[in-house]
Structure 1
Amino acid sequence: MGEEHRTVVIGAGPAGLTAAYELLARGVPVRVFEADEVVGGISRTVERDGWRFDIGGHRFFTKVPRVEEFWHEILPEEDFLLRPRMSRIYYRGSLFDYPLSAANALRNLGIREAALCMGSYARARLRPPKDQSHFEGWVSARFGWRLYSMFFKTYTEKVWGMPAHRLQADWAAQRIKNLSLAKAVRNALLPRRNRKDVTSLIEEFQYPKFGPGMMWERCAEEVQRRGGQIDTGTWVTAVHRDPARRRAVAVTVNGAGQRSYPVGHVVSSMPISELVAALRPAAPPEVLAAAADLRYRDFLTIALVVPAEFSFPDNWIYVHDPAVKVGRIQNFGSWSPHLVKDGRTCLGLEYFVFEDDETWRTPDADLIATGTRELERLGLVRPGVVEAGYVVRMPKAYPVYDERYQHNVAVIRDWLAREVPNVHPVGRNGMHRYNNQDHSMLTAMLTAENIACGTTHDVWSVNVEQDYHEVAGGDGDGRRGTGRSAPIVPARPQTLPASTRAVDWGARARTRAAAAHGEPPAAVPRAQVRPG
């Protein structure tokens, strides 16, 4: 098959590598371009001095049989561990069971505080907040202000970087569907049955013994063994299209020099905003404007090595303490003993940031000092016990779902389908959807079938909430939004139209690669006025 029939895959994360693997299995030649020096995307495992870090924490649990089969086709059974699931909430120096347990909450809060919470709940039921259009009003109406402020407000604001009263209520309605204080108490007191019907309550999960990156490193090896090519440290700078034929015809890449390659299809897991910006000739102004209006939340991990006595059984702890900036703390030793070393563990402090904010720009040494202080302040370690620290930055970890994102994605999606139908967005960033790893993989699997077999799967209908989140069987309401429930957050004020802006995406890719490897983030060129 000639070069012009080759499928180019942009990005070597779970969606990109799954697409490449599935295409090769069907006899379609593939070449993968990855801007970073390693594969796996946010599902990589970062290694520093023999320590391994999982970026964000990846529980291998799915209700999609073909994804389960894929995992075990890539890795043999002996490479998987079956791990207990445990997460707790840190609040006021105490650890609360998650989901909440009545006995545990009563013991930690004390009789007086528990009574105040029940009184707050009673007031909310008698005189609910008038405005329940936002997250704060909706949740406090159902749990009372006191419980809301303890167990909902702080963590939510850390994750999404804005006050909870600016988040729209529909996320709360999806995320906390069918849950109330009365039901939480009733579920806590009654025997635990059918816990796997609620995916947030699964009690155990699979995990590759050397971290999730093990899966994607092995998948990359299989792609290459089957004849596929993977170019790391190589970013796509342009996707060339023929408007007359309404097709993408080539890509230009930069890495070890600039090169162009003819294509039959393009599977893109790069952020959809960057895909649109890379199209040549440029997309129409309204499509460029929609792409430029999409936002992302970035992610930073401070990994601190401590003696094993400061380990804890949780995979992670949610930090509901407004006095510290850390949002969640992972214990990598609880994921797998193969990630840590004898006699010590590594705690990963997770910070949800924006790429241009002060935390993101802070030098690694200062971040390690900050993380150490916060860990000590929380009382999770004694002063002076942190032995070493590492920083991992992950840009564009989470798409932001603001008031305009659905319109923006619809504009882009419709135009791509009409003008370049052989360009196929897949995955979380590729589609700007709140997908988990397994559903990102499913979009790639269906896309591979469409390309190789001529099927017409609608990958945009892959909806996590219908078959994954909370209760098996989903909502049954037919909504398609983001997929897995995510908040709709306020949109930023619109600024300069995208048609007058250009961004050096190659420079941004180089910056992301450096950041993921712990190098100080280089300056990213600001938007420049495009001549003509």
Structure 2
Amino acid sequence: MTEHQENHSCRVRPERDCVVIGAGPAGLTAALELSKLGHGSVILEADDVVGGISRTNEYKGFRFDVGGHRFFTRVSYVQDLWREILGDEFLVRPRLSRIHYRGKLFDYPLRPMNALRGLGVLESILVVLSYLRAVVAPFRRERNFEHWVRNRFGKRLFQVFFKTYTEKVWGIPCSEIGVEWASQRIKDLDLIVALRNALLGSVRSKDGEVVSSLIEEFHYPRYGPGQMWTRCAELVEARGAEVHLKAPVVRVGHGFRRVREVVVRRADGSEESFGGEQFLSSMPIGELVLSMDPAPPEGVLEAARALRHRDFITVALIVNREHLFFDNWIYIHSPDVRVGRIQNYKNWSPDMVPDAACTTLGLEYFVQEGDDLWNAPDEELIALGRTEIARLELASEEEITDGTVLRMRKAYPVYDGAYKDALRVLCLWLGEFDNLQQIGRNGQHRYNNQDHAMMTGVFAARNVAGATHDIWDVNVERDYHEQLKVDERPSEASAAGGERQVPAGVGPEELDAQIERAFGRYDPVALGAAVGIVGGVGLWLVTAMFVVFTPAGESVGPTLSLLGNYFLGYTASWNGAFLVLAEAGLGGFFAGWLLARAINCLVDWELRRLLRQLERQSALNILEGEHG
């Protein structure tokens, strides 16, 4: 990889087909796809390594990640890419994660009975009473994440298993976190699959195998996620692309609705300009807008400044013990420590440690750039980590032999009350540019998983080649979560890449159609008309037949005359036939109408009950998106 250090005020580089800002999963995937489509590119990365938040760091031979990154997807194209890049170095690993609370470990994903047993009798009673209160008197309008969780679990369980950890991660009260953070994790397609399971049993594939989730195992590179993206960078360079490290963007020149150049600043203070026909950006969308030259209108600048991120610190500790616990990671819900999550990298891959007699733990602190933890010296952070590991009784301080610290800016986009309006303003303004696309988690300020970020890069690259994908649809109308069996169909863009398939999710209209098929409603008018017509015409025909075929002088249908007890004025005669036609028709219509309404009420009640149950089950996995 190249690191130019030219002593010019602003060196101008030759134009390329495409300039890609950021060498994370989205940017490198876009560059790889561009190379397959015959387009050259240059990738500009502010950091000294590739991978973005999916990087892997090394300290004295011990490897550690910026958070754990499970490689899971239901998108065959992404799975094929991972295999293409790493081959046999892409491992299948067992998964175990639990929640640490008050000195006890609870299963994760949460299992209600396990949680109640761990909490004890008194706390369990309070949890159940709190839940019943939420059922009887829920928040009628869910204004924030706290309302969303309490409506499904009650206040007590919210405080135990959701509040502390969530507020550690985001640094703001749950009452200020938008409902979108939860709803983005619980997709419509999940409900469809679950509805099918509930109504028809387990969903099976064409070959008869049950479609299972990736709860119990996941894929992982032998030497961490950074191995994947380091290898990907090597592949794109071998195909003629350039990857520039330590090249933070300081200015994006534009004019006449087109981006003209991206200017980066080198380590020696010099600047370098990269021009191109097309530009893909995975840098934080707010920073992209603030880098625009000429500057956008003040309202757009205010929106860019309104977007917030959560920063991240990993304190990696080397422990002189072969085995500590079986979990890949543990969520720390205990409020008496500041650590939010603990990774056991040896359980992700044995090759993450050079000495099998030792274990590497990653203590993850969710911080804000400039706060006390962010500004603390590394020695203080390592000492804090040693103390908190001992307090949690996961290892003793004496067993910890060494440690190091990694800080990561803008690790998570924050879904606060202001983000949606601010993002809408930025999208409208950036949408005016003909040759600029935003990709990746930070590029779209969207809490995407790794495969989602990659697909934004794939679609953007294909747009450069002439396709017309809406890359903002990824993870909105399309869904690629681990619980799903995603439909796929070839597209013109995929054909250009060797007849590969791209994902096509179920949109809102198709979703409504599937729910309608699963929970069909009766049309009251139609059922009423059917019952009325059948009843009225049937009785008219019976009466008419008796009148016609009864010999003269004999009494017409003495038994039939008993219908007079039910239909006013009825007699076994032509007058009675037409009278019963009218009365039975009207009575049948009313009875059918009432029956349809009653059935529909029961169906609606059952659908609401089932959807609520499925939402609660999905909410038990609400933390899953932080590993992807």
Number of the residue aligned with 1:80? 90
Say which SS state the counterpart of residue 250 (structure 2) adopts: strand
Whether the aligned pair in 1 keeps the contact of 2:258 and 2:435 (CA below 8 Å) is: yes
Say which SS state the counterpart of residue 467 (structure 1) adopts: coil
Q: Does 1:431 align with 2:435?
A: no
Cα distance between partner residues in 1 of 2:127 and 2:458: 48
Shift of 1:197: 6.3
Change (3 A) 1:109 1:85: same
Whether the aligned pair in 1 keeps the contact of 2:313 and 2:374 (CA below 8 Å) is: yes
Code of the aligned partner of 1:18:
T
444, 451, 468: which one aligns with 1:456: 468
Give percent identity, aligned residues only: 52
Change (3 A) 1:408 1:438: same
Number of the residue aligned with 1:231? 244
Shift of 1:396: 0.4
Cα distance between partner residues in 2 of 1:152 and 1:254: 42
Cα distance between partner residues in 2 of 1:170 and 1:269: 22
Shift of 1:370: 0.6
Shift of 1:137: 3.4
Say which SS state the counterpart of residue 15 (structure 1) adopts: helix
Code of the aligned partner of 2:357:
G
Cα distance between partner residues in 1 of 2:377 and 2:180: 38
Change (3 A) 1:133 1:284: closer
- Bigger Cα displacement from structure 2, 44-53 vs 374-383: 374-383
Number of the residue aligned with 2:161? 151
Cα distance between partner residues in 1 of 2:338 and 2:327: 20
Cα distance between partner residues in 2 of 1:110 and 1:225: 60
Change (3 A) 1:283 1:147: same
Cα distance between partner residues in 1 of 2:478 and 2:240: 36
Change (3 A) 1:475 1:389: farther
Cα distance between partner residues in 1 of 2:344 and 2:211: 26
Shift of 1:202: 1.9
Gaps (5+ residues) in structure 2?
A: 1-12, 189-196, 487-504, 511-617, 620-628
Gaps (5+ residues) in structure 1?
A: 179-186, 486-532
Cα distance between partner residues in 2 of 1:170 and 1:251: 33
Change (3 A) 1:231 1:162: same
Shift of 1:116: 3.2
Cα distance between partner residues in 2 of 1:264 and 1:432: 24
Shift of 1:5: 4.6
Cα distance between partner residues in 2 of 1:475 and 1:149: 35
Number of the residue aligned with 2:229? 216
Change (3 A) 1:170 1:16: closer
Say which SS state the counterpart of residue 110 (structure 2) adopts: coil
Shift of 1:83: 0.5
Number of the residue aligned with 2:480? 468
Change (3 A) 1:444 1:415: same
Whether the aligned pair in 2 keeps the contact of 1:198 and 1:470 (CA below 8 Å) is: no
User: Any idea what the Cα deviations from partners look like across 1:460-493, whole Å, max 9, x if unmatched?
Assistant: 11116842347526896479xxxx99xxxxxxxx
Cα distance between partner residues in 1 of 2:210 and 2:403: 37
Say which SS state the counterpart of residue 397 (structure 2) adopts: coil
334, 343, 349: which one aligns with 1:330: 343
Say which SS state the counterpart of residue 399 (structure 2) adopts: coil
Change (3 A) 1:391 1:475: farther
Change (3 A) 1:101 1:446: same
Code of the aligned partner of 1:440:
A
Shift of 1:121: 2.2
Change (3 A) 1:8 1:175: closer
Number of the residue aligned with 1:40? 51
TM-score (norm 1): 0.81
Shift of 1:140: 2.5
Code of the aligned partner of 1:458:
D
Cα distance between partner residues in 1 of 2:97 and 2:181: 21
Whether the aligned pair in 2 keeps the contact of 1:240 and 1:281 (CA below 8 Å) is: yes
Code of the aligned partner of 1:449:
R
User: Any idea what the Cα deviations from partners look like across 1:178-237, whole Å, max 9, x if unmatched?
Assistant: 9xxxxxxxx9xxx999999685x6211110000000001001111111111111112222
46, 56, 72: which one aligns with 2:67: 56
Cα distance between partner residues in 1 of 2:211 and 2:416: 30
Number of the residue aligned with 1:19? 30
Q: Does 1:126 align with 2:136?
A: yes
Cα distance between partner residues in 1 of 2:185 and 2:477: 10
Cα distance between partner residues in 2 of 1:366 and 1:126: 49
Number of the residue aligned with 1:99? 109
Number of the residue aligned with 2:417? 403
1, 4, 7: which one aligns with 2:18: 7
**What are the residue-to-residue correspondences of 1:280-319 with 2, within 5 Å?**
280-319=293-332
Whether the aligned pair in 1 keeps the contact of 2:74 and 2:481 (CA below 8 Å) is: no
Give the aligned CA root-mean-square deviation in angstroms: 2.8
Cα distance between partner residues in 2 of 1:164 and 1:261: 43
Whether the aligned pair in 1 keeps the contact of 2:181 and 2:415 (CA below 8 Å) is: no
Cα distance between partner residues in 2 of 1:97 and 1:104: 7
Cα distance between partner residues in 2 of 1:86 and 1:368: 26
Q: Structure 1 runs of 4+ off > 6 angstroms? A: 191-198
Cα distance between partner residues in 2 of 1:196 and 1:359: 47
Cα distance between partner residues in 2 of 1:227 and 1:468: 31
Change (3 A) 1:253 1:169: closer
Number of the residue aligned with 1:258? 271
Name the structure where helix makes up a greater proportion of residues. 2
Code of the aligned partner of 1:382:
S
Cα distance between partner residues in 2 of 1:192 and 1:390: 47
Change (3 A) 1:248 1:106: closer
365, 387, 395: which one aligns with 2:379: 365
Say which SS state the counterpart of residue 218 (structure 1) adopts: helix
Provide the aligned length of Structure 1 versus Structure 2.
464
Code of the aligned partner of 1:205:
F
User: Who wins on radius of gyration, i.e. which is larger?
Assistant: 2
Change (3 A) 1:30 1:339: same
Cα distance between partner residues in 1 of 2:507 and 2:280: 30
Shift of 1:352: 0.8
Cα distance between partner residues in 2 of 1:197 and 1:89: 27
TM-score (norm 2): 0.69
Change (3 A) 1:325 1:310: farther
Code of the aligned partner of 2:470:
D
**What are the residue-to-residue correspondences of 1:485-524 with 2, within 5 Å?**
none
316, 321, 325: which one aligns with 2:334: 321
Code of the aligned partner of 2:419:
Y
Code of the aligned partner of 1:166:
E
Cα distance between partner residues in 2 of 1:50 and 1:99: 32
Code of the aligned partner of 1:241:
H
Cα distance between partner residues in 1 of 2:203 and 2:59: 42
Q: Does 1:160 align with 2:174?
A: no
User: Any idea what the Cα deviations from partners look like across 1:145-196, whole Å, max 9, x if unmatched?
Assistant: 2222111111111111112223344544554689xxxxxxxx9xxx999999
**What are the residue-to-residue correspondences of 1:135-146 with 2, within 5 Å?**
135-146=145-156
Change (3 A) 1:19 1:138: closer
- Bigger Cα displacement from structure 2, 227-236 vs 454-463: 227-236
- Bigger Cα displacement from structure 2, 393-402 vs 167-176: 167-176
Shift of 1:122: 2.6
Say which SS state the counterpart of residue 322 (structure 1) adopts: coil
- Bigger Cα displacement from structure 2, 9-18 vs 99-108: 99-108
Shift of 1:329: 0.6
Say which SS state the counterpart of residue 468 (structure 2) adopts: coil
Code of the aligned partner of 1:346:
T
Code of the aligned partner of 1:355:
E
Cα distance between partner residues in 1 of 2:100 and 2:259: 51
Shift of 1:131: 7.1
Cα distance between partner residues in 1 of 2:437 and 2:187: 33
